[in-house]
Structures are given as structure tokens and as C-alpha cells.
Amino acid sequence: MKAFLQRLVPSKKQAQDAGFKPQAAARREAGFGGSSPYVAGDRGIETMSGFQPRTMSADAEIGPARKVINARTRDLARNNGFAAGAVGKEVDAIIGGNFRPFVKPDWRALGLSKEWANEFKEQVTSEWRSYAEDPRKYADVTRSQTVPQMFGTAYRGYLLEGEALGLNNWRKRRPTKTCLRLVDPDLLSNPHDRADERFLRGGIDLSRDGVALAYNFREAHQSDRWAGVEGVKWKRIRRETRWGRPIVIHFFDKLRDGQTRGVSRMAPIVEKLRMEDHYSKVELQAAVINAVLAAFIKSPMGPEAMEEMFGEDGITKEGSAASGWVGERSQFYQENSIKVGGARIQALFPNDEIGMVQTARPAAQFADFEAAVLRHVASGLGISYEQLASDWSKTNYSSARAALIEIWRGWTVRRTAFAQGFCQPFFMSWLEEMVLDRRIRLPQNAPDFHQNWMAYSRAKWVGPGRGFVDPVKEIQAAAMRVALGVSTLEDEAAELTGSDWGDNMDQIKDEMGKMPAGVLHPMQESFAKLLGHNGGPALNSEE
């Protein structure tokens, strides 16, 4: 039996003679160090030998590089068309022109009725609309933007600089005293630019638990010529009042424990965008030069021919035969200009020839290279290549629909996070003023407002709709979701068009009431019956 097993399992020497090598030796010969079971952790592997990043805390990684990253992303957004387009498209898709709350008070938690919740919702929505969209712009401390416009600017700052900062101010002389001031993240810094400390990092005072207690703002940007003394003075502002009203609103993506400041979402793609921008400029410049120098006149009389014909001194001595020949040639081109129908015909000096520049620009691989870079950039931004490049030439319905679903999922997450982290605190502050000033009244038996602040101010924030790839198919799918109870009319209206279903119903009901009998479309007649009407003049009754 032992001899049989020996024949099945060769000895070490027999294996080596047959060409078999131990796994570690084979890995070393192939260029692998064999020091770690994971290739990613192997320090000896040749392909990873130069890739040795340091292990650092979140603030140590972000802090020293934040100013440089912000300056570069801002420059790209100013001067790179693809970067500017990507930022604009995301801001338009997530915030749009009328980012607003759909108020949904938690009436069950408050112990109040559903009827009260509906009345409260209508009252708050009406007051908020008058305040947020006021063309006098009292909601902005600087009186330069409406509330949706400020939210758009804040989101743009979050996208470019990694964080959105605002101060929740109180102006006694305004119709509504609560107002918002957007703050440049550059102003948030440690007093006198000193190094980070345990409880002071990135301009933020921290507690032992890592809670932000206060924020230190430079009173003027150092680059402002008028800054003067204010450029070296700081103001410390508490995070919130003692009863919880937000004063400083700071939103950023917290990616690691111990992180106190945000980093631009464009940071991973800055290098690729810069390289693509430089390559595109070089190709464009080459194409322009080739277009300008499309043709030239070639003379057979080069330096060697001139020397052979006139001797070594013929080229340099003034008044020589060579000098005379050059003068005659120059005078010939100045005098011989023939025009036919306004077009100039150039006569050539004897033995001269016309040469043409080969315009092989842009390079054959330019389009493929640019597409590859833009796909990388689009993936980093969470959008599709087609959106970034505005190139829909190779897109069909299925691919467009799949891309839209994937992208919309990411946008929905970002919209929810931004609304909860930046918009909701400001909305809660405004609602507090409305309730305390009795502009919005609560029932006699209502629970205390401050103890149930979140239940009263609960809201779903809605921006632009998702839009349609195929309107008929998507409307049919929405109707099926509602019929099966997996969605609601309110949710479908908000997602597809960004509208309020309740406002739509009121408007449709009013429009149907103004239509004469017999002109309703069959679908509208069915809808009228659903509302409890029979169409025509009956819609104007007291029902």
C-alpha cells in the first residue's frame, strides 16, 4: 500500500525534476512577493511596489489638501465645458427652480386627527410659498435670491467644495424675521490659521464626543483687497440655541469616523478632466494652425542651389547676383496679382511650386480617447456618459431607460440627504417663528411644539420630476403601480413631473367645471365621475 501511494504522490525531488515548483517560488518567479495572502496587501509585488499610500485619519487626509482641491474644482467649473455642464445638470435635476417641502405632519404621533393634518398642511404650504418665492427676497440676508435659488447655490457649493454652509439669521425689521445667509466654506478656518488641535479642527470647536459645538468664521476673505484688518479677525458662532434652534447649518458627506469637513465630489476626476481639457486644446490648436497654413509656395532655390550658382559670397554680399535674384522674386509677387470675379489668382515665379499642408487633425484616436475619459468622469460624478457629453447618437430606449433608473436612484439619495441635512433645519426654524407668532395656529389640545418639533415639521422635499423617455409607457406603468397599491398618486406626480397632486386635482376640477356639456374627452368624463360629477354644467353645482 505504501509503495502504491508513493507512486501516486511524487517526492519533492521527483516533482522538481518534472518541473513542478512550490507555490511561493512560483509566485516569486512570476513577480509576486508572496508576503501576503491578498495581492492588495503584498508589498513585494512588482506591480504594486510603487503604490504605498499612508494610513491617515480623515481630517489629516482632507485638511491640508482641501484648499487646493477647492481651487482646482472651481477653476474646472469656470473654464471646462464638461465640468460646468455636469455641475449644472446635477443642480438642475436635484434642486431645479422650485425645490419645496410637501408638508406631512405626523398626526398619529401627535395624537391629532387626519383632518387637522390636512388643514395644517394647506396652511403651512401657503405661508411657505409666500415666504420662499417672494420676489422681494426677504428670506435671503443679502436679498439677492429666493429660497429655492439659495438651495441651488448651496447644493452647487456642496458639489464643488464638498460642503454647504449657511447661517440662520434673525432680522427684526423684516416681515418674516428668519432668514438665511450662505457662507463661503473658505471662511471657516481655525482662528489665526493655527494648526488643528484635538478639539478644534477645520475651524470647528468639538466636544469630547466629537459633536460640533461652534464654528469659527474669518470675517473677510483674505483675497479681498478691501479686507484689511477683517481678513485676520474671526467670529465664533454657536451651532444652535439652548432650545435647539439651528444657527449654523453645515452639510457634507461624512465618509469616515472623525471627519469634520467635507471634500469635493469632483476630487477623484480632477486629473482626468484636466488631461482631457489639455489634450482637446492641443488638438484644436493643431487643427487651427493647419487650417491657416493650408498652402505655401515652394522654391527650388534652396541654400545649396544658391551657393552652387552664385558662390559662397553670393548669398551674403549686398548687390550680388543672389541678392538681385531674391529682390526680383519678391517684386514679382508684389506686382503680379490678377483678380477674376473678385477672387485673386496668384501667378508663380518661374520654377516655384504650390505646396499643400496635410490636415490630419484631429488625430484618428482623439474621439475614442475623449469618450474613454468622459466615461471615467461620468462614472465618478454618478451620471451617464450620454448626459455628460450630450451624445445620444448610440442610445436606444432600453439603454436610456436603464441609465435613467440608475442615475435617478443616486440623485434621489443625494436629494434626500441634502434636504434633511441643509433644507429641513432651515424650514424647521421658519416654522418655529410661524407658530410662535401665531401666524400658524395649533389646536388647544395640541402637544408642545418644541417637544414635538420634528413631528410638526415633517416634510418630503420635492424638486424637478424624473421626466420621460417614453411618456405613454411610463404613464401606463405609473397607473399600474397605483392600481396595485405599490405607489400613490401623490408620489407618482412628484416623481414624474415634480408637481403636487392635490394642486393638480384642484386645478383639473376647476377646469372641468368651466367646460360646456358634451366636450369632455372620454378619459376626462371617467375622471369627472371619479370626482363625483357627471360632466358639463353639473360641475358648476354646489357638489
Residue 208, judged by CB atoms within 10 A of its CB (0-12, 13-18, 19+), counts as exposed
What stretches of 140-221 show up as alpha helix (H) in DSSP?
Answer: 147-161
Q: Which helix (H) or strand (E) holds 119?
A: helix 114-132
Contact of 73 with 163, CB cutoff 8 Å: no
The cell for 519 is: 366636450
Any residues with CB less than 8 A from the CB of 182 and at least 6 apart, and which? 150, 153, 154, 157, 164, 165, 166
pLDDT single digits (tens) 463-486 = 887 776 777 777 787 788 888 887
d(CA 25, CA 32): 9
Residue 160, judged by CB atoms within 10 A of its CB (0-12, 13-18, 19+), counts as buried
| C-alpha separations of 534 from 156, 521, 529 in Å | 49, 13, 6
Residue with the bigger pLDDT between 10 and 484: it is 484
Q: Which helix (H) or strand (E) holds 238?
A: strand 234-238
Q: What is the mean pLDDT of the chain?
A: 80
Look at residue 314 in the predicted model and tell me its pLDDT. 47
Nearest CA among 270, 294, 290, 275 for reference residue 363: 290
The cell for 135 is: 420676489
Banded pLDDT at 211 (limits 50, 70, 90)? very high
Region of 423 (left: φ > 0; alpha: ψ -120 to 50; beta: rest) is alpha
pLDDT single digits (tens) 224-242 = 887 777 778 999 999 999 9
Residue with the bigger pLDDT between 248 and 348: it is 248
Q: Comparing 1-5, 420-424, 488-492, which segment has the lowest mean pLDDT?
A: 1-5
d(CA 497, CA 506): 17
Contact of 243 with 450, CB cutoff 8 Å: yes
Residue with the bigger pLDDT between 7 and 508: it is 508
d(CA 189, CA 196): 10
Any residues with CB less than 8 A from the CB of 320 and at least 6 apart, and which? 310, 313, 314
Mean pLDDT of 381-405: 77
Mean pLDDT of 278-286: 80
Q: Comparing 54-63, 116-125, 370-379, which segment has the lowest mean pLDDT?
A: 370-379
| Per-residue pLDDT at 64 exceeds 60 | yes
What stretches of 133-230 show up as alpha helix (H) in DSSP?
Answer: 147-161
Banded pLDDT at 320 (limits 50, 70, 90)? low
Banded pLDDT at 506 (limits 50, 70, 90)? confident
Rg (CA), the chain: 36
Banded pLDDT at 124 (limits 50, 70, 90)? very high
Pairing of strands 200-201, 204-206: antiparallel
d(CA 139, CA 142): 9
The cell for 187 is: 471662511
User: pTM to 2 decimals?
Assistant: 0.77
Look at residue 541 in the predicted model and tell me its pLDDT. 35
3-state secondary structure of 250: strand
Q: Comparing 14-28, 117-131, 320-334, 417-431, which segment has the lowest mean pLDDT?
A: 14-28
The cell for 112 is: 391629532
What stretches of 390-441 show up as alpha helix (H) in DSSP?
Answer: 397-418, 424-436
Banded pLDDT at 150 (limits 50, 70, 90)? very high
Look at residue 540 in the predicted model and tell me its pLDDT. 38
Residue with the bigger pLDDT between 443 and 488: it is 443
| Per-residue pLDDT at 536 exceeds 50 | no
Parse the chain into domains and list their residue ranges.
2-48, 59-293+363-449, 295-356
Query: CA 218, 224, 227, 231 torsion: positive or negative?
Result: positive
Residue with the bigger pLDDT between 391 and 78: it is 78
| Per-residue pLDDT at 455 exceeds 80 | yes
Q: What are phi and psi of 353, to 5 degrees?
A: -135, 155
CB atoms within 10 A of CB 514: 8
Pairing of strands 178-182, 100-103: unpaired
The cell for 216 is: 469659527
Residue with the bigger pLDDT between 192 and 288: it is 192
d(CA 178, CA 340): 76
Contact of 296 with 347, CB cutoff 8 Å: no
| Per-residue pLDDT at 14 exceeds 60 | no
Q: What is the DSSP letter of 47?
A: G
Residue with the bigger pLDDT between 264 and 392: it is 264
pLDDT single digits (tens) 347-378 = 555 656 666 556 555 566 777 778 888 888 88
| Per-residue pLDDT at 258 exceeds 80 | yes
pLDDT single digits (tens) 287-305 = 777 666 555 555 665 555 5
Whole-number percent of the chain with pLDDT over 70? 74
d(CA 491, CA 102): 11
